[in-house]
Structure 1
Amino acid sequence: MKNIVVGVGNVLFKDEGVGIYASKFLQQNYEFNDDLEIIDGGTLGFKLMTYFQEYDNVIILDTVSVEDEAGSIYRLPSEVLLGMGQYRKTAHEVEIVEMLEICSVLDKHATVTILGIIPEDIEAVEIGLTSTLEDKFDDFISQALEEIENIGVKVKKVDNKDLKIIAQELIGSYNGEHLTRIPNEEDTTWN
């Protein structure tokens, strides 16, 4: 079976980046057997449809627009998501639901599950999560690991990097704290 975890969102808008951070966190702290791929889906939108067609199981890590307390975590199988018109509040939420609708009429498509967390702030232009989502991040990761194991993938913890370090290595900044150099910057000497 081909399985994939797709972190979706935009790290420039506070909690909107939680899916990206979660996918990077999983990649850097865990090993999975060969039956799982993890990618940063960013804001690929309709380009994600390829994954819906080529994989058996797709787990999407994202924010979810549901009227509930910030930090609440929802597991939404695609058949539930298709009936939730109010879910479509951000551009990528619209695209995900539209892709699911298109795929639902195709002969072969993945079993898609959205693991979503309710954001506190997706409007501020700042790299980093709110304290509310930071407090719930470990729970979000635990739910993602449970979902991964439920599709038959073996999980092994290999490191203990924290969210802040992972975000700084990815972007160079997290909640106003910056690295002293740009990630992956080469040391060049000018002659």
Structure 2
Amino acid sequence: MRIAVVGAGTVIFRDEGVGVYAQRFLQENYEFDGDVTLVDGGVLGFQLMTYYTDYDKVIILDTITMKEEGPGALFNIPGEELLGLGSYKQTAHEVEIVEMLEIAALNGNLSDVHIIGIVPEDILSVKAGLSDTIKEAFPAFVTEALAELERSGVGYRPKKPGMSLDEVIECYANPTAPRCVPQ
């Protein structure tokens, strides 16, 4: 089974970058069995179609706008449920994710897609990093991503040495720092 884990979002808008940070955190801290591709999706938009149609399963890590839930609340939503969830479409990239899901579904070749979303506290401030609320919820966010991989039959093990969330965030601010340059 080919699986893509896509971190979506924009690291310059505070909590909006949580998906991208989570993808990088998984990349730096875990080795996976099987055919798992980790993708810094940023705001891929239409390019998401490739993952939706070429992979057996796609796990998207992202913020999710749910007005009735407080910041840090977690969701694991199958793609077919998201097709009818209008309240999810609040930011530009949320609209793109859902639109690409709808197009792939219409074409009849949509992979098994899951959105693992976290309700953000601040996606308006132009500031790198995460709010304290989302930092506190980050371990549960990553744990849910790992659990979804496990449900798909993917084993994993920690890498040594790993990278902390603060180090991951720092690598986006300073990608040429020695710790941040891929070996």
For the aligned pair, the TM-score class normalised by the smaller chain equals: over 0.9
Match of 2:120 in 1: 119
Contact 2:72–2:118, Cα closer than 8 Å, also in 1: yes
Alpha-carbon offset, residue 170 of structure 1: 2.8
1:161 aligns with 2:153: no
Equivalences for residues 72-151 of structure 1 within 5 A: 72-151=73-152
Counterpart-to-counterpart distance in 2, 1:167 and 1:99: 28
Match of 2:181 in 1: none
Alpha-carbon offset, residue 184 of structure 1: 2.2
Classify the secondary structure of the residue corresponding to 1:104. Answer: helix
Instruction: Judging by fraction of residues, say which structure has more helix.
Output: 2
Alpha-carbon offset, residue 185 of structure 1: 6.3
Match of 2:65 in 1: 65
Residue type at the aligned position of 1:129: L
Number of residue pairs aligned between Structure 1 and Structure 2: 176
Contact 2:58–2:111, Cα closer than 8 Å, also in 1: yes
Spell out structure 1 runs of 4+ moving beyond 3 A: none
Q: Which runs of 5+ in 2 are unaligned?
A: 179-183
Alpha-carbon offset, residue 49 of structure 1: 0.7
Counterpart-to-counterpart distance in 1, 2:77 and 2:111: 14
Classify the secondary structure of the residue corresponding to 1:105. Answer: helix
Classify the secondary structure of the residue corresponding to 2:107. Answer: coil
Q: Percent identity?
A: 47
1:40 aligns with 2:44: no
Scaled by the length of structure 2, the TM-score of the pair is 0.93
Scaled by the length of structure 1, the TM-score of the pair is 0.89
Contact 2:171–2:177, Cα closer than 8 Å, also in 1: no
- Deviations, residues 63-115 of structure 1 (Å, cap 9, x unaligned): 00112110000011011111111111000110111111111122322110000
Change (3 A) 1:70 1:185: closer
Q: Which runs of 5+ in 1 are unaligned?
A: 173-182, 187-191
Classify the secondary structure of the residue corresponding to 2:106. Answer: coil
Counterpart-to-counterpart distance in 1, 2:95 and 2:62: 13
Kindly name which structure, 1 or 2, has the bigger radius of gyration based on alpha carbons.
1
